[in-house]
Chain A
Amino acid sequence: MSEQNGQKDTVTLTIDGVEVTVPEGTRVLDAAQRAGVVVPFYCYHPGIPTRPAQCRVCLVSVEGQGKLQPSCVLDARDDMVVHTATEEAKLARKSVIEFLLVNHPLDCPICDAAGQCMLQDYAFETGQLESRLDEPKQVMGRDRISDDIMYFADRCIICTRCVRFMREVAEDDALIVAERGHRAYIDTFPGAKLDHPFQGNIVDICPVGALVHEDFLFKARFWDMDSTSSVCPGCSNGCNVAIDTKENQIVRLKPRHNAEVNSYWMCDHGRKHLVMANRGIRAEVPLLRDEDGELRAVDWAEALETVAGRLGEVSGGRAVVSPHDCNESLFYLRRLLDGIGIEGGSFTVERGEEATLSGFPKLKLRADRAPNVAGAEAFGFARSDALARPGEGEALVVLEERLQGAPSELDDEGFGEEASYFLYLGSRISPAARAADAILPVTSFAEMQGTFTNWEGRVQRFDQALREPGIARPAWMVLSRLLDLAGRGEAVLEAADAFERMAAETDRMAGMTWASLGLKGARPAETAGSGSGGA
Chain B
Amino acid sequence: MAYPHRHEDETTTLLSRHMGEEKARHLEAWLERGGYEALRKAVDMEPDEITSVIKDSGLRGRGGAGFPTGMKWSFMPGADDDRPHYLCCNADESEPGAFKDREIMRWTPHLLVEGCLIAARAIRAEHVYIYVRGEFFPVIRILNDAVAEAYEGGYIGEDILGSGWSCDLTVHIGAGAYIAGEETGLMSSLEGRRAEPRVKPPFPAQHGIFGQPTTVNNVETLSAVPMILSNGADWYRQWGTEKSPGTKLWCCSGHLSRPGNYELALGVPMKDIIFDVCGGIPGGRELRAVIPGGSSTAFLTPDELDCETTYEGLKEVGSSLGTASPIVMDETTCLLKAMRRIAHFYAHESCGQCVQCREGTEWVTKILERIEHGEGKMEDIDNLYDLCEQLTGRTICVLADSVVFPLKSSLDKFRDEYEAHILRDTCTAS
Contact = CB atoms under 8 A, between A and B. Distances in A.
Interface of A: 52-57, 59, 66-68, 70, 73, 92, 95-96, 98-100, 102-103, 132-135, 138, 157-158, 177, 179-184
Nearest to A92: B394
B352 A180 contact: yes
Interface string B391-407: 00111100000000000
B72 interface: no
Contacts of A180: 177, 179, 194, 350-352
30 contacts: A52-B353, A53-B199, A53-B396, A56-B394, A66-B393, A68-B393, A70-B199, A73-B199, A96-B356, A99-B358, A99-B359, A99-B360, A99-B390, A100-B359, A102-B359, A132-B383, A134-B370, A134-B377, A134-B380, A135-B363, A138-B362, A157-B355, A158-B353, A177-B194, A180-B194, A181-B350, A182-B347, A182-B352, A182-B361, A184-B352
B354 interface: yes
B352 A158 contact: yes
A56 B351 contact: no
A56 B358 contact: no
B172 interface: no
B354 A181 contact: no
A157 B349 CA distance: 18
A192 to B, nearest CB: 19
A99 B363 contact: yes
Contacts of A133: 363
A80 to B, nearest CB: 14
Contact of B356 (A99, A138, A177): A99
B396 A182 contact: no
Contacts of A68: 393-394
B393 A182 contact: no
Contacts of A138: 362
B358 A181 contact: yes
Interface residues on B, range: 20 to 34
Contacts of A67: 393-394
Most buried by A among B348, B349, B370, B394: B394
Most buried by B among A134, A177, A183: A134
B18 interface: no
A158 B358 contact: yes
B370 A135 contact: yes
Contacts of B366: 135
B355 A55 contact: yes
Q: 3 closest pairs, A vs B, by CB?
A: A181-B350, A54-B353, A99-B359
A76 B356 CA distance: 25
B32 interface: no
A57 B199 CA distance: 15
Interface string B329-363: 00000000000000000011111111110111111
Nearest to B201: A75
A66 B393 CA distance: 9
Contacts of A52: 199, 353
B200 to A, nearest CB: 10
A184 B347 CA distance: 12
B420 interface: no
Nearest to B353: A54
A181 B345 CA distance: 11
Given A100-B355, A158-B352, A59 B361 contact: no
A384 B177 CA distance: 63
B199 A184 contact: no
A95 B396 CA distance: 16
Given A56-B395, A135-B366, A182 B354 contact: no
A96 B355 CA distance: 6
Nearest to B197: A54
Contacts of A135: 363, 366-367, 370
A66 B177 CA distance: 30
Given A52-B353, A184-B352, A102 B363 contact: yes
